[in-house]
DNA sequence: GTGAAAGCGCTAACAG
DNA sequence: CTGTTAGCGCTTTCAC
């Protein structure tokens, strides 16, 4: 690998001049610039990022922390994030935290000593105090960590109400909710949306916990129907649980959507592969990823002052389960 | 952030001594060591990785290049890789290449200038010559790039034959193969396995291309059955296509497994959520990821000389589709 | 306009 | 056993 010195020697200038043309900063004579560019090409020179980082105390890597890479929602998100970041010359350092605080502490320390330029965090466990130690720009995705930490989230509450309203509009009156795990931001918001809408509609609530998981939701659905055989609608807080519900209903021999209608939340591809295909509130995952990455970049470049909070909307996608 | 100088000053020693206790290299008096450790703790000092990397010309990041993060197979792989690597103090730099060569060139250059310690690559496009430029250790996963580049793969050929044999054992005689994309290593190997086994069994072959994709495989299955209504078995080269086949069969009103049996290849969770649940050749994904990461680490640490090639076996998992 | 030189934080000879 | 020193490759004052 050629260094800046090699280029300087070949172009018969000082390293300072090479650095100037590299960064397009300061005055450089047209003649000189040409000679330098020539030398760069000839040596196939690429500036060493590590050396640059040491001086700048900042790399072009962005830490991206997600709780569970095997949940299909996150890879899609990461893909969008990665795409935007790569376009701007940044690189993604990926961390799978399992949303465990001890892992998180480790990760945050790594981010610090690796001089990452910023971090994108999806976590229910991280609180403001954890982030206070580190002084790099952060954007929270999908959950709000604190009002003074920027975020891009989905309108879980309102969109959940919309899902319920849709079911009501399709004639459902006894609608159960398969809720996600306790303490998880999105899960609590969707639950709140369900409850408020049911109350406003003057309808009774039936709630079971499916923990955002397949097997748990199958179990939960079974129990729900045992206790309330006359349910005519299920609003699952995510698609995986909706798939579980449909699986349980199939086992019980209950016809969808005739006897009972099912709607999910997320919009993962998976929902389209089952029979009947799943109606769902589709999250704008790509937009969520792009927007978060762009916002972070803006903060890094100082193009934006205080914390910003964006809220995107999920969109109803009607398929065969309703 | 405290630097090594701060520690040295507080402990009243030179930076060299601090460096020695940090790296556990060279002689350090017991008394001195204690004072240094004390100072480190007091200042909550963490060595700066970037500075260290600049000197060593090597970071503790490992580049991980995968073709498609939205294919559930890869996130599972990345998770296993990440886990092993993190345990050893390494960090994952993730790149989604779409398996496009132009992206790949960019990525390889980044790996170079970022001083990554090594790379894990899943790609059908990358050839030996691309990797020759860069002189960092590489392990190819899931595909063999060249005999002198280490690899960890799955026994696609033999395991495909096993899948076919199983179908034959269950009484199938007219077995079609939904093949993956042309030119993709795993896809070609599985196709070869299918063909050889069918020939040996003295059975006729029926092949359609599902491109490893859901929609394409639905289409392909429809056409297959239109031309050969008497098929009694389908071996799909991956689970996604198997899911597509099952979906197509459902539309055609063909009963599984009574009229036709379906087996996939991969073992992704998805296969368990559809009805009927999918029989498949389950790949040892976690082992694949762990093994690759370990091998790479060994190469990095010089614990292993020439290129090594490991081949793991997929395992038959019988569920309801056969 | 351009160059010399200091320094980012760390490691590894080389002395002593 | 411990300290001094010279860089790793780059950027940025500060002179000229």
Q: What is the pLDDT of residues B133-175, one digit of tens each?
A: 888 999 999 999 999 999 999 999 999 999 999 999 999 999 9
Q: Which nucleotide is nearest to A7 (CA to C1')?
A: D9
Percent of chain B with pLDDT over 70: 100
Q: Residue range B75-86: average pLDDT?
A: 93
Q: Suggest the residue from A2, A3, A47, A49 to mutate for an interface test with chain B (most B CBs closer than 10 A).
A: A49
Q: Is the CB of B29 under 7 A from strand C?
A: no
DSSP, collapsed to helix, strand or coil, labels residue B66 as strand
From chain B, pick out residues whose CB is under 8 angstroms from the CB of A47. 113
Interface of A with B in 243-262 (CB under 8 A): 243-244, 247, 250
Look at residue A116 in the predicted model and tell me its pLDDT. 94
Segment B108-122 mean pLDDT = 93
Which of A53, A74, A274 lies at the smallest CB-CB distance from B274? A274
The mean pLDDT value for A103-124 works out to: 92
CA atoms of A295 and A303, how far apart (whole Å): 9
- Optimal mutation site among B43, B50, B74, B241, interface A, most CBs of chain A within 10 A: B50
Distance A26 CA to C3 C1' (A): 14
Provide the pLDDT for residue B47.
95
Measuring alpha carbon to C1', the residue closest to nucleotide C12 is: B16
Q: pLDDT digit string (tens) for A243-291?
A: 999 999 999 999 999 999 999 999 988 898 888 999 999 999 999 999 9
Average pLDDT over residues A40-45: 95
Contact list, A272 vs chain B (CB under 8 Å): 214
Confidence check: pLDDT of B66 > 90: yes
Closest Cα in chain B, distance from residue A187 (Å): 22
**Looking at chain A from residue 162 to 201, which residues have their Cβ under 8 Å from any Cβ of chain B?**
none
- B214-B220-B223-B228 Cα dihedral, nearest 10 degrees: -110
CA distances from B299 to A1, B85, B149, B285, B296 (A): 22, 13, 11, 21, 5
The pLDDT of residue B9 is: 94
Question: Mean pLDDT over residues A35-42, rounded?
Answer: 96
Question: Between residues A312 and A109, which one has the greater pLDDT?
Answer: A312
Does residue A62 surpass a pLDDT of 90? yes
Q: Rg (Cα) of chain B, in Å, rounded? A: 25
The answer to whether B43 CB sits below 7 Å from nucleic acid chain C is no
Averaged pLDDT, B172-196: 97
Please provide the size of chain B in residues.
Answer: 322
Confidence band for B69, pLDDT divided at 50, 70 and 90:
confident
Any A CB within 8 A of B274 CB: yes
Chain A's closest residue to B240, CA to CA, is A273
Mean pLDDT lowest among A41-55, A94-108, A274-288, B113-127: A94-108
**Strand pairing report for B261-266 and B175-179:** unpaired
B112 Cβ under 8 Å from any chain A Cβ: yes
- CA-closest candidate to residue B85, choices B291, B293, B284, B288: B293
Nearest residue, CB atoms, A53 vs list B50, B272, B275: B50
Average pLDDT, rounded, for chain B: 95
| Strand-strand pairing, B315-317 and B279-282 | antiparallel
Pairwise CA distance, residues A221 & A236, whole Å? 10
- Whether A94 has its CB under 8 Å from any CB of chain B: the answer is yes
pLDDT at B274: 87
Helix, strand and coil content of chain A, in percent to the nearest 5, comes to 45, 15, 35
Q: Which residues of A touch B49 (CB under 8 A)?
A: 113-115
Lowest mean pLDDT among A272-276, B212-216, B251-255, B316-320: A272-276
Beta strands in B104-220 (DSSP E): 118-121, 138-141, 151-154, 175-179, 206-209
Provide the phi-psi class of B26: left if phi over 0, else alpha when psi is between -120 and 50, else beta: left
Can you list the alpha helix ranges (DSSP code H) found in B44-140?
49-56, 73-87, 101-113, 128-133
Report DSSP state, residue A253.
T
Q: Which residue of B has its CA nearest to A79?
A: B69
**Residue A159's pLDDT is what?**
98
pLDDT at residue A71 in the model: 84
Q: What is the pLDDT of residue A151?
A: 98
Q: Which residue in the block uniquely carries the two structure tokens 């935290």?
A: A97
Average the pLDDT over A180-197 and give the result. 97
Closest CA to A142 of A153, A158, A128: A153
Query: Which of B227, B166, B155 lies closest to B190, judged by CA?
Result: B155
Contacts of A113 in chain B (CB under 8 A): 46-50
* The pLDDT of residue B199 is above 90: yes
Query: Are the CB atoms for A260 and A236 separated by under 8 Å?
Result: no
Is residue B132 scored above 90 in pLDDT? no
Residues from chain B contacting residue A243 (CB–CB below 8 Å): 273
Assess whether the previous peptide bond of A257 is cis (omega < 30° from 0).
Answer: yes
Using the CB atom, is residue B23 less than 7 Å from strand C? yes
Tell me what pLDDT residue A24 has: 94
Strand C nucleotides, any atom under 7 Å to a protein CB: 1-5, 7-13
* Chain A residue whose CA is closest to B93: A93
Buried b (16+ CB within 10 A) or exposed e, A91-125: bbbbbbbbbeeebbeebbebbbbbbbbbbbbbbbb
CB contact under 8 A, A275 and B50: no
pLDDT at A32: 95
Is the Cα dihedral B69, B74, B80, B81 positive or negative? negative
At A14 the pLDDT is 95
Rounded to 10 deg, the angle between the A73-87 and B73-87 helix axes is: 80
* Sheet-wide strand order for B175-179: B206-209, B175-179, B233-236, B261-266, B279-282, B315-317
pLDDT in tens, A158-178: 999 999 999 999 999 999 999
Q: Do B74 and A75 touch (CB under 8 A)?
A: yes
Average pLDDT rounded to a whole number, residues A36-56 = 96
Is B217 within 8 Å of B234 (Cβ atoms)? no
pTM above 0.85, yes or no: yes
Percent of chain A exceeding pLDDT 70 equals 100
Q: Which residues of A181-197 are buried (b: 16+ CB within 10 A; e: fewer)?
A: beebbbbbbbbebbbeb
Q: Quick one: pLDDT at residue B259?
A: 97
- Examine the pLDDT at A134 and tell me if it is beyond 90: no
Which amino acid residue lies closest to nucleotide D2, measuring CA to C1'? B17
Q: Is the pLDDT of residue B244 over 90?
A: yes
A-chain residues within 8 Å CB-CB of B112? 1, 46
Please tell me the predicted confidence (pLDDT) of residue B305.
Answer: 86
Identify the band that residue A306 occupies on the pLDDT scale cut at 50, 70 and 90.
Answer: confident
- What is the average per-residue pLDDT within A113-123? 94
Lookup: tokens for A175:
């609608």
Q: Are strands B118-121 and B261-266 parallel, antiparallel or unpaired?
A: unpaired
């Amino acid at each position: 690998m050629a260094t800046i010195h090699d280029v300087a020697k070949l172009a018969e200038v000082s390293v300072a001049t090479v650095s100037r043309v590299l960064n397009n900063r300061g005055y450089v004579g047209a003649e000189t610039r040409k000679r330098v560019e020539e030398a760069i090409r000839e040596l196939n020179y690429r500036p060493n990022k590590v050396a640059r980082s040491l001086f700048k105390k900042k790399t072009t890597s962005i830490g991206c922390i997600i709780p569970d890479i095997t949940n299909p929602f996150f890879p899609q998100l990461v893909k969008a994030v990665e795409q935007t970041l790569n376009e701007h010359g940044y690189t993604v350092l990926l961390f799978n935290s399992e949303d465990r605080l001890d892992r998180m502490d480790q990760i945050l320390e790594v981010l610090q000593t690796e001089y990452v330029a910023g971090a994108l965090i999806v976590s229910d466990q991280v609180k403001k105090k954890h982030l206070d130690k580190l002084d790099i720009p952060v954007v929270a995705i999908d959950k709000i960590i604190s009002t003074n930490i920027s975020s891009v989230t989905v309108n879980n509450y309102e969109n959940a109400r919309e899902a319920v309203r849709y079911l009501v509009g399709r004639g459902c009156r006894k609608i159960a909710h398969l809720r996600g795990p306790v303490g998880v931001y999105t899960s609590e918001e969707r639950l709140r949306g369900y409850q408020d809408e049911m109350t406003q509609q003057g309808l009774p609530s039936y709630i079971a916990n499916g923990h955002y998981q397949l097997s748990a939701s199958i179990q939960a659905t079974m129990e729900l129907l045992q206790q309330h055989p006359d349910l005519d609608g299920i609003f699952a807080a995510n698609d995986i649980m909706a798939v579980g519900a449909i699986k349980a209903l199939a086992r019980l021999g209950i016809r969808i959507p005739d006897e009972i209608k099912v709607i999910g939340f997320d919009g993962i591809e998976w929902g389209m592969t089952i029979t009947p295909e799943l109606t769902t509130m589709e999250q704008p995952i790509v937009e969520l990823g792009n927007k978060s990455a762009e916002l972070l970049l803006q903060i890094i470049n100082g193009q934006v002052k205080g914390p910003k909070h964006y809220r995107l909307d999920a969109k109803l996608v009607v398929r065969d389960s309703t």
